[in-house]
Chain A
Amino acid sequence: MTETVFYIIAVSLCVFAVLSVTVKDVFHSAVWLALALLSVAGIFLSLDAAFLGVIQVLVYVGGIMTLFIFAIKLTARIGDRSIRQVSQQSVCGGIVSAGIFGVFLIIIYANQWNDMMLPPGQGIGLNGLGKALLTTYALPFEFISVLLLAALVGAIVIGKVKQ
Chain B
Amino acid sequence: MTHDILFILPEVVLAAGALFILVCGVFGCRRWLLGFLALASLTLAFFVLPGGSNTASSAFSGMLMGDAFGFAMRIFFLVATVLAVLLSMGYRWQDDDDAGEYFFFLLVATACMMLAVSSGNLMMLYLSVEMLSIVSYVLAGFLKRDIYSTEAGLKYFLFGALSTGLMLYGITLVYGLFGTLNLADINARLALSGVYAPTLILAAVLVFAGLAFKASIVPFHMWVADVYDGAPWPVAAFFSVAPKALGFALLVRVFFGSSALMHSGWPGITAVLAILTMTIGNLSAFHQDNVKRLLAFSSVGQAGYILAGLATGLLGLQAAFFYMIIYVFMNMGAFASAALLSPNRMDLAAYKGMGQRAPWGAMFFTMFLLSLAGLPPLAGFLAKFLVIRAAVEGHYFWLAAAVVLNSVIAFFYYLKVIKIMYMDKPASVKEVAISRDGYLLLAISCAAVIGFGLWPKPLLDILAVIFA
**Contact present between A and B (CB < 8 A):** yes
Known: A151-B134, A157-B138. A140 touches B15 (CB 8 A): no
In the complex, chain A residues whose CB is within 8 Å of the CB of B130: 147
Contact A107 B199 (CB under 8 A): yes
- Separation of A140 and B120 alpha carbons in the complex (Å): 12
- B265 in the interface (beta carbon within 8 A): no
- B202 in the interface (beta carbon within 8 A): yes
Contact B127 A147 (CB under 8 A): yes
Contact A139 B202 (CB under 8 A): no
Contact with A along B179-200 (1 / 0, CB 8 A): 0000000000000000001110
- B131 in the interface (beta carbon within 8 A): yes
Contact B61 A143 (CB under 8 A): no
- B115 in the interface (beta carbon within 8 A): yes
In the complex, chain B residues whose CB is within 8 Å of the CB of A95: none
In the complex, chain B residues whose CB is within 8 Å of the CB of A71: none
CB-CB contacts below 8 Å: A114-163 with B? 135-140, 143-144, 146-147, 150-151, 153-154, 157-159, 162
Known: A107-B198, A113-B176, A158-B153. A143 touches B135 (CB 8 A): no
State the Cβ distance, A158 to closest chain B Cβ, in Å.
5
- B174 in the interface (beta carbon within 8 A): no
- A110 in the interface (beta carbon within 8 A): yes
Contact B105 A154 (CB under 8 A): yes
Contact of B198 (CB < 8 Å), options: A106, A143, A150: A106
Contact B134 A154 (CB under 8 A): yes
Contact with A along B118-142 (1 / 0, CB 8 A): 0000011001101100110110011
Contact with A along B88-103 (1 / 0, CB 8 A): 0000000001100100
- B108 in the interface (beta carbon within 8 A): yes
Contact A139 B63 (CB under 8 A): yes
Contact B202 A107 (CB under 8 A): yes
CB-CB contacts below 8 Å: B151-199 with A? 153, 176, 197-199
- Separation of A162 and B146 alpha carbons in the complex (Å): 13
Interface of B is mostly: helix
Contact A157 B131 (CB under 8 A): no
Known: A139-B64, A158-B141. A144 touches B198 (CB 8 A): no
Contact A150 B176 (CB under 8 A): no
State the Cβ distance, B58 to closest chain A Cβ, in Å.
11
- Separation of A144 and B349 alpha carbons in the complex (Å): 46
CB-CB contacts below 8 Å: B197-235 with A? 197-199, 202
- A92 in the interface (beta carbon within 8 A): no
Q: Give the total of B residues in contact with A, Cβ under 8 Å.
A: 37
Known: A137-B63, A139-B64. A150 touches B128 (CB 8 A): no
CB-CB contacts below 8 Å: B55-75 with A? 60-61, 63-64
- A88 in the interface (beta carbon within 8 A): no
Contact B199 A111 (CB under 8 A): yes
Question: Which residue of chain A is the closest to B19 with respect to CB atoms?
Answer: A149
Q: Which of the listed residues A106, A139, A158 has the most CB atoms from chain B within 10 Å of its own CB?
A: A139
- B8 in the interface (beta carbon within 8 A): yes
- B144 in the interface (beta carbon within 8 A): yes
- Separation of A105 and B382 alpha carbons in the complex (Å): 49
Known: A137-B123, A139-B8, A146-B108. A153 touches B202 (CB 8 A): no
- B22 in the interface (beta carbon within 8 A): yes
Contact B22 A153 (CB under 8 A): yes
- Separation of A146 and B128 alpha carbons in the complex (Å): 11
- B327 in the interface (beta carbon within 8 A): no
In the complex, chain B residues whose CB is within 8 Å of the CB of A135: 61
- Separation of A139 and B153 alpha carbons in the complex (Å): 29
Contact A110 B198 (CB under 8 A): yes
- Separation of A147 and B108 alpha carbons in the complex (Å): 9
Please name the 7 residue pairs, one residue from A and one from B, whose CB atoms are nearest each other, closest first.
A154-B138, A139-B60, A147-B131, A136-B61, A139-B63, A107-B199, A157-B101
Q: Which residues of B are at the interface with A, using a C-beta cutoff of 8 A?
A: 4, 8, 15, 22, 60-61, 63-64, 97-98, 101, 104-105, 108, 111, 115, 123-124, 127-128, 130-131, 134-135, 137-138, 141-142, 144-145, 150, 153, 176, 197-199, 202
**Sample of 20 A–B contacts (CB below 8 Å):** A107-B202, A135-B61, A137-B61, A138-B61, A140-B124, A143-B128, A143-B131, A146-B15, A147-B134, A150-B108, A150-B135, A151-B134, A153-B22, A153-B104, A154-B105, A154-B134, A154-B135, A157-B101, A158-B141, A158-B150
Q: Which residues of A are at the interface with B, using a C-beta cutoff of 8 A?
A: 103, 106-107, 110-111, 113, 135-140, 143-144, 146-147, 150-151, 153-154, 157-159, 162
20 more A-B residue pairs beyond the given contacts A150-B138, A158-B150, with a C-beta to C-beta distance below 8 A: A103-B202, A106-B198, A107-B202, A113-B176, A140-B63, A140-B127, A143-B115, A143-B127, A144-B127, A147-B127, A147-B131, A150-B135, A153-B101, A153-B104, A154-B138, A157-B98, A157-B138, A158-B144, A159-B144, A162-B145
